Amino acid sequence: MNAVTTLVPSLVAVVVLVAVSALFSSSESALFSLSDDWVTGLTADGETTDERALDALLEDPHRLLVTILVGNNVVNVAISSIVTLLVVEFVPSGVAVVVATLTATVLVLVFGEIVPKAYGLGHAETWSLRVARPLALVERALGPVVTMFDASTRRLTALVGGDQRIEEPYLDE
């Protein structure tokens, strides 16, 4: 396969992956910035599927954070890998690593992190309800990996003297 035939599918994959990265980042900001009063009012109602999914996610904030971080890191590494493969096809090898690193960094930071996090913060309540079910699906799909990282990070946190439930204050404002 030549470089041109891989270009379009690779660019499409990068765009999709950046959108998924944005979903994870905006979700993290939205979910961890919800006010306690709003969440309490929500759980009192708890009638819709989205509300029930959100309530279930918020029951274990550490697992929720692990789910988001595992998903986002897998996606961001994939973005970096695809960008690197593309760049080495079109840029001289001496500068390819620099170009790929800068390109992936800008894509991930601007479109996968900063702008989506600002959006998540600005639309926390509505966005958290929209992303609750997709995140619940991701948590189930990545279940064994999330469980492994959840358990190991809790143990490591305890070993270094950290608070294993550090995420909870962000959900109890």
Q: Count the domains in the chain.
A: 1
Q: How many CB atoms lie within 10 A of CB 151?
A: 12
- What is the spatial distance between Cα 14 and Cα 81, in angstroms, rounded to a whole number? 10
Domain that holds residue 59: 3-171
d(CA 83, CA 98): 11
Distance separating alpha carbons of residues 88 and 61, to the nearest angstrom = 40
DSSP string computed for 155-166: HHHHHTT--TTT
Note the pTM of the prediction, 2 decimals: 0.87
Q: Please answer whether residues 111 and 135 qualify as being in contact, where contact means their C-beta atoms are separated by less than 8 angstroms.
A: no
Q: How far apart are CA 20 and CA 25, in angstroms?
A: 9
pLDDT mean values, one per 10 residues, the chain (173 residues): 80 98 98 91 76 93 95 98 94 92 97 98 97 96 94 90 63 51
In this structure, is the dihedral angle defined by the CA atoms of residues 9, 119, 110 and 54, taken in order, positive or negative?
negative
Model pLDDT for residues 78-123, shown as the tens digit of each residue: 999 999 999 999 999 889 999 999 999 999 999 999 999 999 999 9
State the pLDDT at residue 81.
96
- The pLDDT value recorded for residue 105 is 97
CA atoms within 13 A on the CB side of 144: 0
